[in-house]
Structure formats: C-alpha cells, structure tokens
Amino acid sequence: MAELQMLLEEEIPAGRSALLDSFTNLERVAEYCESNYVQSPDKQRALEETKNYTTQSLASVAYLINTLANNVLQMLDIQAYLIYSSFPFKVRFQPVLLPHSCGFA
C-alpha cells in the first residue's frame, strides 16, 4: 500500500513534471539551434551541433516517457491486485465452448 501511495503522490507527479520541464527545455534548445544556425559562419558545424542536441533531447524524452509509463503500469498492477484481493469470492476463468466448437451447427 505504501508503494501505491508513493507512486500516486511522488513518482507519477514527478515524472509528469519532468516531462513538462523537458518540453520547456526543448523549446529553448530549438530556439538556440535556430539562432546558432542563422548566425554561424560554419553552417555544417552548426547543423552537426543541432543533430547532436536533437539526438540527446529525443533520448532524454524517451527515457522520461518510459519511466513514467512504467510507474503508471506499476500503479495499475497494484490497484488491480487490491481490487482482486478484496473480492469475497475468487473469479475462475474457464474457456467457453461455443456451439460451432462442439460440433453443433
């Protein structure tokens, strides 16, 4: 239960906040890259620098999304377990035979 509370109150909000901060930082990086390219006498070097920033930024955002998604899945798993364990009876899953699978048609 403490793990669920930590996910809900700390981990997931922190992950969301990190993504929002990343959005702001990406805007700044894009503005810098554009300005740098326009003002740079060496366009090829400026383009390579932009490619490097883009690669780093995409990797960072992918990591943040992965971390947040894992935390959300972990939260859902815990909630599903809590719901399942609170049932007064246990649900058994059995295959259902349909008429066409029994030879009836």
pLDDT digits (tens), the chain, 105 positions: 899 999 999 999 999 999 999 999 999 999 999 999 999 999 999 999 999 999 999 999 999 999 999 999 999 999 999 988 887 776 676 777 776 655 555
Calculate the dihedral angle through the C-alpha atoms of 41, 46, 19, 71, rounding to the nearest 10 degrees. -170
SS3 74: helix
Q: CB–CB of 71/15 below 8 Å?
A: yes
| Residue ranges covered by each domain of the chain | 2-101
Task: Determine the Cα–Cα distance for residues 70 and 42; give it in Å rounded to an integer.
Answer: 42
Check if the beta carbon of residue 76 is closer than 8 Å to that of residue 12.
no
